[in-house]
Amino acid sequence: MNMATQNLLVELFVEELPPKALKKLGEAFAGQLAQQLQTLGLASAESVVTPYASPRRLGAHVTHVADKAADKAVQQKLMPVSVGLDASGAATPALVKKLQGLGADISDLAKTVASLRRAIDGKAEALFYDSQVSGVTLATGLQQALDVALAQLPIPKVMSYQLHTDCDMPGWSSVNFVRPAHGLVALHGSNVVPVKALGLTAGHLTHGHRFEAAVDPVVLTHADSYAATLAKDGAVIASFAERRAEIVRQLAAAAAQIGGGCQSIEDEALLDEVTALVERPHVLICEFETQFLDVPQECLILTMKANQKYFPLLDATGRLTHQFLVVSNINPADASAVIGGNERVVRPRLADAKFFFDQDRKRSLESRVAGLDKVVYHNKLGTQGERMARVCLIAYTLGMQLEGTALAERAELAARLAKTDLLTDMVGEFPELQGIMGGYYARHDGLGDDIADAIEDHYKPRFAGDSLPRNAVGVVVALADKLETLVGMFGIGNLPTGDKDPFALRRHALGVIRMLIEKDLPLDLSAMVAAATPAFGDKIVDATAALTDFVFDRLAGSLREQGFSALEVDAVQALRPQRLGDIPRRLTAVRAFAALPEAPALAAANKRISNILKKADAVAASVRPELLVEPAEAALFAAMGGVLPAAQGQLDAMDYTAALQTLAALRAPVDAFFEGVMVNAEAPELRANRLGLLKTLHTAMNQVADLARLAA
């Protein structure tokens, strides 16, 4: 690459960009621009890219950008010598045509032909044309890079707007972009690069803060002074990352100023959104009347964050305070008007929440149960009332299996009330609070903490890493709720396809898996699914097999993400262990077994035994000792007599690691058996007895996992 490099700055000045997309837009614009410049040879792998993104600009600073890419030596294969040259060594018409197509100088054809390089290509000698291709200039290359970067922006929704054009017939042309663009800057060092985009021609002028810029327009004199000039003359922190860090700093400082261990609520998405709404942040402390703190804090926090983009303040114990923080885009000498305005705006929101809460508590959850019959759940599966009747049945069955009548009855009650908060005013306004409000209203109704917690927790785990339900009632209702969805949707053929999973069946399956494993519940997966199916009557077909496969697929993916190898997972899942809580112990045992020196030979022997048994007709796992005529088979049978009972005891105690290590002692007699015994003996009795011996061994050795799957 040309060694004379300077740093490059490109900025697109636009109307306010969509805040939830700004971070991604800024990173994509800068990243794609730099990548294209590198592809063209104008930038190198050492070039440092700095993205800029504010509400009204997308920018990129790229270091070490050349004004022209280096020339490239190009080697072009033309054709075999026998095709390109005639008997006298002169160019054939085919060669002349090829050279013309490549732009070669054929004014002195003999000289050009003489300069062609000959080399062996495969079996024949071929002609090659070596030439120098001139490197692209920055003006041309940046134009290409800019066009690609803009075309590939991850724009959530494109706007179409009209642009006035200067031409012989003045008129309007339509431009499609995320927001109307009004300015383009392209500086290579201090020189403007004459590129165009979205009907704009690049210059060195931009605009700062709408209200607080010291000058307008802001004059940019050099690519490297962009951020500093915008900060000084434009009152704008151009870097998204720096602006975000400044907001975090100011939020912490404001919380510290209040004291008492206060801290602003942590919410990365809200922080990104607010960073995308301001160009120069200024954090202000506001407050509301303490009477609103009687409302559940989840309601107040949600309305402040979602509707107003405010940062609620929590005290040292995590309780909401009556103060909150606002990130303002202006910094007046007297901020009282801004503070007062924000306090006035939030008050009606909090008053609405208080009204909803007070109104909802006038009716018990029990009184709302009948209303679920009027809410459609799915056209093939009926109403929410019908759905909850099914969940009640499933919850009762699971409760009986786990702990008996007491748990079954409490789980059935919690299941019947679990969805009633969908009919409350608060959840109607804030759907995100479903479950949470049910918990508050259940306590108000005097139903006890176990029911209230179960109603709140029955949606858990809602996402990867989410906590599980706190108590046994909550676990049973959460399992029943997810099972009802899975069995119902599979039963009507409503399966996930590709990326589409509108009923979150993958998430529900992972939720079931996590509860069964992490709570180590003594429940069999297929039995659970089979028990849930009758609750649907004739609304569905039995899809137990397909659903069980689906759950095991999700489980395999989850276990691989946790660091278990595909071989380990495959070996354990080949047995389809129905108690999922056992699976981590089985995987740990398989990993320990695989590390033993005996493991490779035993895995290979298991694979060999599997193949032998597959080829034989039905084999009974029985042995007649008097037919063990070879010393090696008698020795193996004797060794099995000593090892298998001990291993079975360890298996029964679910000490899978010890069981596999005990079985490892059979390696030597197994090896000796295959060296000294012909399994397929001519005598039918001997053959059947040897197959029975192998069947007994195979059954005993593969109760933890299919060890043959570990064979290389």
Give pLDDT tens digits for 656-712.
Answer: 999 999 998 988 998 898 888 888 888 888 888 888 888 998 998 899 999 888 876
Q: CA 52, CA 546: separation in Å to the nearest integer? A: 49
Which residues 6+ apart lie within 8 Å of 56 measured at CB? 13, 14, 15, 16, 17, 207, 210, 279
Q: If pLDDT is split at 50, 70 and 90, which confidence band does 52 have?
A: very high
Q: pLDDT > 90: what percent of the chain?
A: 60
Q: CA 231, CA 222: separation in Å to the nearest integer? A: 14
Which residues 6+ apart lie within 8 Å of 117 measured at CB? 127, 128, 129, 130
| pLDDT of 360 above 70 | yes
pTM value? 0.78
Query: How buried is 634 (Cβ within 10 angstroms: 0-12 exposed, 13-18 middle, 19+ buried)?
Result: middle
Mean pLDDT of 153-171: 70
| pLDDT of 28 above 70 | yes
Mean pLDDT of 496-519: 91
Q: If pLDDT is split at 50, 70 and 90, which confidence band does 74 have?
A: confident
| pLDDT of 305 above 60 | yes
| pLDDT of 168 above 50 | no
> By C-alpha distance, which of 465, 456, 464 is closest to 504?
464
pLDDT of residue 169: 42
pLDDT of residue 253: 93
Exposure b/e, 354-367, CB count within 10 A at least 16 = b: bebbeebeeebbee
What pairs with residue 5 in β-bridges? Answer: 66
Mean pLDDT of 645-655: 92
Return mean pLDDT, the chain: 90
Q: If pLDDT is split at 50, 70 and 90, which confidence band does 166 have?
A: low
pLDDT of residue 3: 54
Query: How buried is 337 (Cβ within 10 angstroms: 0-12 exposed, 13-18 middle, 19+ buried)?
Result: exposed
Q: CA 302, CA 309: separation in Å to the nearest integer? A: 10
Q: Residue 608, Cβ neighbours under 10 Å: how many?
A: 16
Mean pLDDT of 331-356: 91
pLDDT of residue 2: 43
Q: If pLDDT is split at 50, 70 and 90, which confidence band does 345 have?
A: very high
pLDDT of residue 167: 46
Q: Quick: pLDDT tens for 439-480.
A: 999 999 999 999 999 999 999 999 888 999 999 999 999 999
Question: What are residue 264's phi and psi, to 5 degrees?
Answer: -75, 150
Q: CA 366, CA 385: separation in Å to the nearest integer? A: 13
Inter-residue contact 298 to 314 (CB < 8 Å) = no
Which residues 6+ apart lie within 8 Å of 677 measured at CB? 630, 632, 633, 690
Q: Containing H/E element for 642?
A: helix 631-652
pLDDT of residue 1: 42
Question: Which two three-digit tokens encode residue 266?
Answer: 């942590």
List, as one string, the DSSP characters of 58-72: EEEEEEEEESBPPPE
pLDDT of residue 165: 57
**Structural domains of the chain ordered from first start:** 5-69+137-234 (3.30.70), 77-132 (no CATH), 240-360 (no CATH), 366-563 (1.10.3210), 585-710 (1.10.730)
pLDDT of residue 95: 85
Mean pLDDT of 313-332: 92
Q: CA 695, CA 615: separation in Å to the nearest integer? A: 13
H runs (alpha helix) in 117-181: 138-151
List, as one string, the DSSP characters of 395-422: HHHHHHHHT-HHHHHHHHHHHHHTTGGG
Question: Which two three-digit tokens encode residue 436?
Answer: 């949470």
Q: CA 162, CA 57: separation in Å to the nearest integer? A: 20
Which residues 6+ apart lie within 8 Å of 62 measured at CB? 7, 8, 30, 33, 34, 37, 43, 47, 48, 49, 50
Mean pLDDT of 251-272: 90
| pLDDT of 262 above 80 | yes
SS3 111: helix
Q: Quick: pLDDT tens for 528-586.
A: 998 899 999 889 998 899 999 999 999 999 999 999 988 999 999 999 999 999 999 99
- Strands 57-66 and 49-54, by their bridges, are antiparallel
| pLDDT of 33 above 90 | yes
H runs (alpha helix) in 599-630: 599-615
Mean pLDDT of 202-216: 92
Among the ranges given (168-172, 363-367, 384-388, 607-611), the one the predictor scored with the smallest mean pLDDT: 168-172
Mean pLDDT of 164-184: 72
Q: CA 654, CA 454: separation in Å to the nearest integer? A: 31
